[in-house]
Amino acid sequence: MMNRIILIGNGFDLAHGLPTSYADFIRGYNITLKLGLLEGEYERYDGLCSVNISDPEDRKTLEQFRWMLQDNTFRFIRNLGEITPAEQYDHFVSDHLIYESKFFETINKAVESKKWVDIEGEYYSLLKKVFKDKSCKYGDPIQLNEELELIKGALTGYLKSVQKHYIKSELRNPDIEQIIHEPFNFRDVAVSAQKQFLEYIVNKWAEKNRIESTGEETKADESFAAIASNLVTNWENEGLKSKFIEEIKNGNGAVCDEFAYPERTLTRWLN
């Protein structure tokens, strides 16, 4: 019998009523921010937005909206645009909100005007401006990429919240979760692509060594280095031949000639 893998994207989630679109994420982020203010979090900064309610009169105004805390977060999301006091609260927050990320501001405005957003498309549009438009706020792609990492982190947190509140725990199968989250190994890669996969890991291991030696890193660097480190550790634990591990760890950015024929060498080592 042939084993089959079924890949399910968030179109499956949306068809079953789960709020996992990018627009849902942006709304969820904004609601979390607004709820935080109602709970007394007068200052907030996360690299994407900042709010500072320092004026005593503004804090008194904020007190008038505290009744909203009687509602739960997801009901608050659904009702936010339907009741006049909440609309007034929206205006209050907007007056005190500062976007620290131009990228995140662009995404928010797209949701406001079109009710949906293509984050990848907005990112690509800004990335092109970095190289073609001298008036672009981003002088180089580094800051843009760092802001993308912040957004990805916020999205991950939001989706975990959706999973907690929307998906019944009895429907979750721990065996399936373990399979999904276990580290990659060679058996997960097509034989024809194993050489490219090896080169990728060698380069990322070299990147890990660079980070450790220079101390200069970005969030993206940390992520890639962690991937390489976890894979190599996993392969060592599986008993993969030491010559291969040494080749990866030497950080020379290329695999040796012996690995040009993965169907002959790698499968032998995995017997």
> Above pLDDT 90, what percent of the chain?
19
Note the pLDDT of residue 146.
93
- Identify whether residues 189 and 122 lie together within a single domain: no
Give the other-Cβ count within 10 Å of 25's Cβ: 23
**Which of 64-68, 134-138, 238-242 is predicted with the least confidence, judged by mean pLDDT?**
238-242
* Both tokens assigned to 157: 């947190």
- Identify whether residues 134 and 190 lie together within a single domain: no
Q: What is the mean pLDDT of the chain?
A: 74
43-45 and 97-99 strand pairing? unpaired
Tell me the pTM.
Answer: 0.59
**Which of 61-70, 197-206, 256-265 is predicted with the least confidence, judged by mean pLDDT?**
256-265
Query: Cα–Cα distance between 199 and 254 in angstroms, integer?
Result: 6
Q: Which of 84, 118, 144 is the last residue of a domain?
A: 144
The string of pLDDT tens digits covering residues 99-119 is 999 999 999 999 888 888 889
> Above pLDDT 70, what percent of the chain?
66
Asked whether the predicted pLDDT for residue 206 surpasses 70, the reply is yes
Please indicate whether residue 76 or residue 191 has the higher confidence score (pLDDT): 191
Note the pLDDT of residue 91.
84
Specify whether the CB–CB gap between 183 and 234 falls below 8 A.
yes
Q: Which of 144, 170, 193 is the last residue of a domain?
A: 144
Asked whether the predicted pLDDT for residue 49 surpasses 90, the reply is yes
Specify whether the CB–CB gap between 47 and 101 falls below 8 A.
yes
In a domain, 179, yes or no: no
- Identify whether residues 100 and 26 lie together within a single domain: yes
Alpha carbon separation from 177 to 10, 167, 172 (Å, rounded)? 17, 14, 8
- Identify whether residues 249 and 136 lie together within a single domain: no
The string of pLDDT tens digits covering residues 142-192 is 999 999 999 999 999 998 888 888 877 776 778 877 777 776 666 677 777
- Identify whether residues 40 and 134 lie together within a single domain: yes
Alpha carbon separation from 127 to 4, 22, 137, 218 (Å, rounded)? 38, 19, 11, 18
Closest alpha carbon to 224 in 128, 149, 122, 121: 149
Query: Cα–Cα distance between 179 and 185 in angstroms, integer?
Result: 12
Give the other-Cβ count within 10 Å of 262's Cβ: 22
Specify whether the CB–CB gap between 234 and 185 falls below 8 A.
yes
* Arithmetic mean of pLDDT, 207-222: 64
E runs forming strands in the chain: 43-45, 49-52, 97-99
Domain that holds residue 110: 15-144
User: Checking phi first, is residue 215 left (phi over 0); if not, alpha (psi -120 to 50) or beta?
Assistant: left
Q: Which of 95, 114, 144 is the last residue of a domain?
A: 144
Note the pLDDT of residue 261.
37
In a domain, 29, yes or no: yes
Please indicate whether residue 49 or residue 81 has the higher confidence score (pLDDT): 49
Closest alpha carbon to 140 in 132, 149, 148, 131: 131
Domain count, the chain: 2
Burial 125-134 (b: 16+ CB within 10 A, else e): ebbeebeeee
Please indicate whether residue 2 or residue 33 has the higher confidence score (pLDDT): 33
Closest alpha carbon to 59 in 112, 96, 114, 12: 96
In a domain, 234, yes or no: yes
Note the pLDDT of residue 177.
74
Note the pLDDT of residue 174.
80
